[in-house]
Amino acid sequence: MLKIKDLHARVDGKDILKGLTLEVAAGEVHAIMGPNGAGKSTLAQVLAGREGYEIVSGSVEYLGQDLLELAPEERAREGVFLAFQYPVEIPGVNNVYLLKAALNAIRKHRGEDELDAYAFMKIVREKMKLMQMDPSFLNRGVNEGFSGGEKKRNEILQMAVLEPKLALLDETDSGLDIDAMKVVAEGVNSLRSPERAIVMVTHYQRLLDHIVPDVVHVLADGRIVKSGDRSLALELEERGYDWLQKAVGT
């Protein structure tokens, strides 16, 4: 589904990704771990198409297309979803309004009919139950006055409604207490499917207790330096990142 080859990217003239290579197949859940400043969030932003990230070289293929050629909204409509580390507040815009506009933009792109209010609400209510969210959420401003946990839950709700093919979760566990994390993890797990790939970026392995990945990668100094199964995450938890960075000479 996703093939990243020797990707080099720069922010404000500073090299952040330095030859990153990664392949993710449909149905898989990958975790990308690594120390602060390794380039984890940059990777997520580059894949989503954020402005200000300069691609120096390398390629990203997504479902057979050149992902880097697509505008951010086109990527979204093609099924790339980013759950933000810091979801932004948009005062005065109802959550439900944004969500409906987003879903219909994506449906339109796929050549499907736009949903009317009734059909849409039916979907949203169902997903909100899953995320244990109060219906009053819908009529609040987007992320306006939300607690950290509420914001993250809202991201996963959006993901559940939009049903992306490739979901990128950027530090979704940060700022969550254990109960909130369980709810979020449950939401993500419910979305695991053979047609969908999930890439989680995280600093701590605790999220992986709840969302068990198929593959764990270590990102250090702009490259994937080690890949393995679940046990790699546990090893990292125990030993930290230093030994690895030393081992690979970065």
Contact footprint for another protein (CB under 8 A): 48-51, 71-73, 75-77, 81-82, 84, 87-88, 90-93, 97-99, 101-102, 105-106, 109, 141-142, 158, 162
For another protein, which is the closer residue by CB, 51 or 113? 51
**Nearest distance from C-beta of residue 243 to another protein, angstroms:** 36
Reported in sequence order, the residue ranges of the chain that DSSP labels E, i.e. its strands, are 2-11, 14-24, 29-33, 53-62, 65-66, 80-83, 90-94, 141-142, 166-170, 197-202, 215-220, 223-228
CB 137 within 8 A of CB 167: no
Q: Nearer Cβ to another protein, position 24 or 48?
A: 48
Residue 57: CB minimum distance to another protein, A:
24
**Cβ 247 to another protein, closest distance in Å?**
36
Across the strands, what pairs with 62?
2, 65
Report the residue number, 110 or 246, with the smaller CB distance to another protein.
Answer: 110
Minimum CB distance to another protein smaller for 82 or for 197: 82
Residue with tokens 């390629």: 59
CB 81 to another protein: min, Å: 8
Output the CA angle 85-86-90, nearest 5 degrees.
140
CB-side neighbour CA atoms (13 Å) of 3: 7
Question: What letter does residue 192 receive in the DSSP assignment?
Answer: -
Q: In the complex with another protein, which residue's Cβ is closer, 57 or 139?
A: 139
Shortest gap between Cβ of 52 and another protein (angstroms)?
8
Q: At what angle do helices 178-190 and 148-162 cross, to 10 degrees?
A: 10
